């Protein structure tokens, strides 16, 4: 995907991306009250699929490069791409990432959040808080005229200042009518390096931050990425647009968007 060129989206296309992004945010809010001990990740998946269809959208992950379900559910040491399963039951104290990507009128809204199952450990809570902080630092660094490396540098500093590490094996990505396209957006790096950020660029920022080592392993299902040391991992994701004025978060829940924005 790195020798593809970066497509700049028109204002009209960015509004289409916002429609998809807001539906994605609403889907996470819909799922939130279901995240309780005793619920299976398949139940979350099936609720997400039904809600998505009811709203006239399609689940991009389903069948994507053979992915078998509609959402990704990544618990505790799972870094990303966890596959929902009937036998995988949420337990008190778990942390879980739910990653959704509805397609609305051809455009992808890609976002994920962390949820607490009951009352996780202080370490788990801190990891999640820092990961959210890292995402917002990365978004704040995404300004027109800046560079892709500014984003990763901001995220890496935020994570490492708290003693955590940044996953290298998965990156943010351009997203539009295509699920994953240029540019690649690493969550680590060097300020001033990488492609220039220009108005009309639309991409995700989705840092995966680990309690211990940044190294990951892929399980035999060929999808589930886990931490090599079995320690915790957290991830949060927004889809953003670079505008003349700065940065526009397209996957904010509509209730969180100021009316005059
Ligand atoms: N939504 C994920 C992302 O943030 C991609 C999931 S691809 C799947 O890029 F095939 F695993 F669903
Ligand atoms: Co993504
Ligand atoms: Co995603």
* 1 found inside a domain: no
Confidence of residue 38 (pLDDT cuts 50, 70, 90): very high
Token pair of 248 as six digits = 């526009």
| Count of positions (residues) in the chain | 261
pTM of the model: 0.98
**Minimum CA distance residue for ligand 1 atom 11:** 81
Kindly state the helix (H) or strand (E) to which residue 209 belongs, with its residue range.
strand 208-210
**Is the minimum distance from the CB of 101 to ligand 1 under 6 angstroms?**
yes
* 3 found inside a domain: no
**CATH value at residue 232:** 3.90.230.10
**Is the minimum distance from the CB of 67 to ligand 1 under 6 angstroms?**
yes
Instruction: Identify whether 183 is preceded by a cis peptide bond (ω within 30 of 0).
Output: yes
For the chain, the helix, strand and coil percentages under 3-state DSSP, each to the nearest 5:
30, 25, 45
* 2 found inside a domain: no
CB atoms closer than 10 angstroms to residue 199: 17
The predicted structure's pLDDT at residue 215: 99
**Minimum CA distance residue for ligand 1 atom 3:** 110
Q: Does 95 have pLDDT greater than 80?
A: yes
- Ligand 1 atom showing the smallest separation from residue 204 Cα: 4
Counting the structural domains of the chain, the total is 1
Listed residues: CB within 5 A of ion ligand 3: 99, 110, 112, 237
What would the pLDDT profile of 45-89 be if each residue is shown by its tens digit? 999 999 999 999 999 999 999 999 999 999 999 999 999 999 999
**Is the minimum distance from the CB of 179 to ligand 1 under 6 angstroms?**
no
* 114 found inside a domain: yes
What is the mean predicted confidence (pLDDT) over 232-251?
Answer: 98
Ligand 1 centre distance from Cα of residue 92 (Å): 26
CB 238 within 8 A of CB 135: yes
Nearest Cα neighbor of 34 from 90, 76, 108, 75 is 90
What is the mean predicted confidence (pLDDT) over 118-140?
Answer: 98
Range of the domain at 170: 11-255
* 123 found inside a domain: yes
Closest ligand to the CA of 239 = 2
**Is the minimum distance from the CB of 64 to ligand 1 under 6 angstroms?**
yes
Best residue among 101, 204, 206 to mutate for probing ligand 1, ranked by most atoms within 8 Å of CB: 101
Ligand 1 centre distance from Cα of residue 135 (Å): 17
* 4 found inside a domain: no
- Ligand 1 atom showing the smallest separation from residue 179 Cα: 9
* 119 found inside a domain: yes
SS (H, E, C) 211-250: CCCCCEEECCCCCCEEECCCCCEEECEEEEEECCCCEEEC
- Ligand 1 atom showing the smallest separation from residue 101 Cα: 1
What would the pLDDT profile of 174-190 be if each residue is shown by its tens digit? 999 999 999 999 999 99
Residue with the larger pLDDT of the pair 155 and 256: 155
* 117 found inside a domain: yes
Within 8 A by CB and 6+ apart from 132, the residues are 114, 236
Closest ligand to the CA of 205 = 2
Confidence of residue 3 (pLDDT cuts 50, 70, 90): low
DSSP letters of 117-166? Answer: SSS--HHHHHHHHHHHHHHHHHHHT--TTSBHHHHHHHHHHHHHHTT-EE
CB 218 within 8 A of CB 197: no
In the predicted model, what is the mean pLDDT of the chain? Answer: 97
Q: Does 12 have pLDDT greater than 80?
A: yes
């Amino acid at each position: 995907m790195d020798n593809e060129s970066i497509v700049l989206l028109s204002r009209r296309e960015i509004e289409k991306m916002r429609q998809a992004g807001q539906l994605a945010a609403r889907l996470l809010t819909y799922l939130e009250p279901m995240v309780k001990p005793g619920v299976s990740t398949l139940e979350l998946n099936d609720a997400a699929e039904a809600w998505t269809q009811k709203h006239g959208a399609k689940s991009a992950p389903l069948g994507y490069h053979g992915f078998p379900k509609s959402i990704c559910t990544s618990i505790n040491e799972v870094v990303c791409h966890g596959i929902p399963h009937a036998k995988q039951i949420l337990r008190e104290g778990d942390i879980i990432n739910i990653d959704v990507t509805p397609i609305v009128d051809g455009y992808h809204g890609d976002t994920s959040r962390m949820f607490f199952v009951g009352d996780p450990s202080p370490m788990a809570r801190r990891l999640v808080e820092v990961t959210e902080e890292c995402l917002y630092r990365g978004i704040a660094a995404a300004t027109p005229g800046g560079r892709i490396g500014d984003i990763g540098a901001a995220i890496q500093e935020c994570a490492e200042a708290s003693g955590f590490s940044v996953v290298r094996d998965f990156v943010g990505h351009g997203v539009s009518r295509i699920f994953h396209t240029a540019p690649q957006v690493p969550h680590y790096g060097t300020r001033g390096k990488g492609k220039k950020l220009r108005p009309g660029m639309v991409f995700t920022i989705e840092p995966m931050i680990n309690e211990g080592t940044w190294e990951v392993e892929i399980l035999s299902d060929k999808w589930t990425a886990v931490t090599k040391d079995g320690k915790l991992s957290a991830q949060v994701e927004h889809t953003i647009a670079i505008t003349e004025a700065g940065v526009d978060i397209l996957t904010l829940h509509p209730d969180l968007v100021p009316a005059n924005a």
